[in-house]
A and B are shown apart, each in its own frame.
Chain A
Amino acid sequence: MALRKLIGELCLTFCIIVVISAAPGLLSSDTLDFHRFYEMVQRILYTFVHWQDATFILNTNEYKIFPDVFDHYTYMLILLGSALACSLLLAMILVIVTLLLPQFLKNAVNAVVSMLSAIPDVFFIFALQLIIIWIYRSTGILFIDPLATTFEPVYLFPIIALCIYPTLFLFQLTLQSFEDELTKPYVEFAKGKGLSYFSIFLHHIFRNTLLSLFQSFKQLFWFMLGNLLLIEYMFNIQGFMYFFRTYYSPELFAICLLFLFLTFFFFFYIAEGLLASYHRKRGLVMKGGFYD
């Protein structure tokens, strides 16, 4: 029963993806053009059925999308995954260090972080770009070729640029939930039993706040995808988003959206299933899940 519902919802989401990617056809002329819309839907569905033959056009030549697109796709996944892992790690270290600080320093750190998080991410990317140019001018090492015309995976700077905002966001969230958790009686009990600070952290507080952290990941993922588009544009990396932007066609856009959706779905579905089973084992009821 649950499976059937899940499949039904997936089908609905799939339909909406098709509609969204065909929608420019509907609005292209002054009046609503249903005929063109219908044609586009047909073309998109045709592409999905014959996905091996999907092509994109470059200088009047047609090239096949598959399997080249998988290179771009894995590159995007590596960027997103490592940026997320980096920011989680950084945020955790920062939070633990911050909690060990005296109160007035804690307040200072809080104020600085909330000020930094008000700065839009684009300005960080902008600053990074200026840094890259400065490094090039002073040492002659070029990390990212701003005039590159082919796809070359670059890792360091895009990951740095991607993980700035998530780090700040996760830091604030974690600090808040850790401080809430620290006031609970079981922490006092654990301290009274003589457990060390770090073991309480790792074994109890971290696990208990993991769920609330995880639920913010969806928003972060959405945010990072948008950021990735900008980073690819500003650093001139021919990545996944850039690929679909430059060789735009409705079919390609639909494929792009489907890829994003599948990534999103599998990552969150599997992770949430694991978390839910873990919590059930410990006798906790999980609420507000994505697919519960």
Chain B
Amino acid sequence: MIRRLIRNPRFILGFIVLACLLISSFALTNMTVPKANELQYGSNHEVTAVAPFPPSAQHWFGTNDQGEDELFLVIQGVKYTIGYALAVAICRLLISTALGILYGLYAKKSRRLFQAFIRPFRFIPAVLLALIFLTLLPGIWLSLLVTIFIAVPVLTEIIGEDVRHQLQQEHIIPSKLMGASRFHLLRKHLWPFLAPRLTLHFLQQIAQVLLLMLHLGILEITLFQTYDLTYYISNFYTKLMTTTWEIYTPVLVFFLLLCSFQLLVKGVESVLSAPPLEKRPLKVTTPPAAQPVPLSFKFMK
């Protein structure tokens, strides 16, 4: 699968953009922010301009109100955003895969019950839930918990239904009849089917978490108190009317980030839906022709 992903142009494009962002973000970690003077003076020492400055030749994307370069700050913040999204997506996936496999293996009559249980999560928008919980209860750990558990019910159902569907396939039944244990079924039949799907779910979850972070950022909630992308977006509304460039930069970088993840998702999707490569024809090795065994007797005339 990896070899085919490398050949997929969309996957490669997304991967390159993402890698560039991450590498530059880590490279800039310990560097001091290029800074312009907050006040600029004319020839008679009068103040001609006050930070934030609009985009200029020195600062392509403008500066913030301390005169610091906007693009530099935003790129520095990218790694925190990606790290948070990764952590949340991994936790979501681990929890809901475990629950989903349990659901797929054991749920028979309790299926409807479970579906009724997760129904509220199918119509309450995640943003609304996160908004209510996070405005009331701020804190890093709690925000992490909330962002993880918002998606778990629905994801559990998706994975669980996949597992259940796969366990009803025709080739499973003989295996069961011959006495395969549940663990054997999981390892031999389910895992090869589930693993590529989980990769897809993983990428989709990262994109979803990023989107949720963006939405919460616009609603002026920062998930954690570092200078990440959502922090720069969260003062959105007041800046939109006055110093628009301060918004453009984080929004643009966020856009790049989301697009690259979408490209990754599309790439994996197209690889998964493509028909499997034709296997190389097996080499037919003919056994060497049997040597004529010397007879230990003679025909007599």
Check if B203 is an interface residue, CB within 8 A of chain A: no
- CB of A245 within 8 A of CB of B131, answer yes
Check if B108 is an interface residue, CB within 8 A of chain A: no
Partner of B113, one of A12, A129, A133: A12
Partner of B218, one of A23, A24, A233: A233
Residue of chain B at shortest CB distance from A129: B240
Taken together as a complex, chains A and B put the C-alpha atoms of A241 and B136 apart, in Å, by 17
Taken together as a complex, chains A and B put the C-alpha atoms of A233 and B217 apart, in Å, by 12
Q: Which of B36-44, B65-73, B98-106, B259-267 contacts A (4 or more CB under 8 A)?
A: B259-267
- CB of A226 within 8 A of CB of B127, answer yes
- CB of A120 within 8 A of CB of B124, answer no
Interface residue range, chain A: 35 or more
Interface residue range, chain B: 35 or more
Residue of chain A at shortest CB distance from B128: A229
CB contacts under 8 Å to B, within A98-120, are 114, 118-120
- CB of A120 within 8 A of CB of B123, answer no
Contact with A along B116-139 (1 / 0, CB 8 A): 110110111111110111011100
- CB of B218 within 8 A of CB of A230, answer yes
Residue of chain B at shortest CB distance from A261: B123
Check if A281 is an interface residue, CB within 8 A of chain B: no
Residue of chain B at shortest CB distance from A219: B122
- CB of A234 within 8 A of CB of B218, answer yes
- CB of B113 within 8 A of CB of A222, answer no
Taken together as a complex, chains A and B put the C-alpha atoms of A183 and B135 apart, in Å, by 52
Check if A278 is an interface residue, CB within 8 A of chain B: no
- CB of A17 within 8 A of CB of B136, answer no
- CB of A122 within 8 A of CB of B125, answer no
Given A13-B116, A119-B259, A120-B258: A222 in contact with B128 (beta carbons within 8 A): no
Check if A142 is an interface residue, CB within 8 A of chain B: no
- Which of B's residues lie within 8 Å of A, judged by CB? 112-113, 116-117, 119-120, 122-129, 131-133, 135-137, 142, 211, 214-215, 218-219, 237, 240-241, 251, 255, 258-259, 262-263, 266
Could you give 9 example pairs across A and B, Cβ below 8 Å? Answer: A16-B119, A16-B120, A118-B262, A118-B266, A225-B128, A226-B128, A233-B219, A241-B128, A260-B123
